[in-house]
Each structure stands twice: as C-alpha cells, then as structure tokens.
Amino acid sequence: MDAVEPTREQLRLSAVLEALASPQRLEVVVRLTQEPAVLACGELIPDVSKSTRSHHLRMLRDSGVMRLTRDGRYLRPSLRRDDLDARFPGLLDAILGSAERQAATA
C-alpha cells in the first residue's frame, strides 16, 4: 500500500462522502476516533475477507479520510482529522454524531 494519499488541498467532498457512505467504512472511522494508533489494519474490519478489507481501506485512504503508516510489518491506520476539519469544517463531527445517534437507537 504505497499509493500517494491526496494532499489537504486535493481532498474532494464527494470522495469523502462516498467513502463514509459504507457502514463498514464508517465503523472504521468511528473505531479510529475511539482507539487511535492502537489498531492494525487487520483488526479494523475483522469479519470480512482480506480482499474486501483491502478494498474498504483503499477507499478510505484514496479519499483522504485516513492514512496508513508502516510500523514494522504492520500498517497502522490513522484518521486525517486535522486535514478533514480544515478542509470541511464540522463535517466529520456531524457524521460521527449521526453515527453515534444511530447506534444508540439500534
């Protein structure tokens, strides 16, 4: 996973919203806000095939929602919160708040 992530200026709202539209990818973002820098990529979406997990992580990385950093033999995901907040103020808080309310009513 050595692809180049978009810069802050290259972040597109449509790509971010598309990435966050998937319940699995939204759950990844929620987990990254709760457990930053603790999880390896394989732990984020444990109940799917490796190819499906790779697809979801690629969507999040390519949209600029998260970055992957190599830590030995592991890739560590991290949320690009500063970049997202600077480019789209309030968006991530609104999406996470909505996900939290939805989880509470489920």
Reported pTM? 0.87
CB-based contacts of 79-86 (< 8 A; 24+ apart in sequence): 79/29, 79/32, 79/33, 79/36, 80/5, 81/33, 83/8, 83/11, 84/11, 84/16, 86/8
Here the CATH number for the domain that contains residue 39 is 1.10.10.10
Contact 95, 26 (CB under 8 A): yes
| 3 lies in some domain | no
| 4 lies in some domain | no
Contact 81, 90 (CB under 8 A): no
| 17 lies in some domain | yes
User: Number of folded domains in the chain?
Assistant: 1
What pLDDT is attached to residue 1? 47
Domain that holds residue 59: 12-105
| 6 lies in some domain | no
Of all residues in the chain, the percent with pLDDT exceeding 70 is 93
| 80 lies in some domain | yes
What pLDDT is attached to residue 73? 84
What is the chain's mean pLDDT, rounded?
89
Higher pLDDT, 11 or 104: 11
What pLDDT, in 10s, does the model give residues 5-51? 899 999 999 999 999 999 999 999 998 998 766 667 777 787 888 89
| 40 lies in some domain | yes
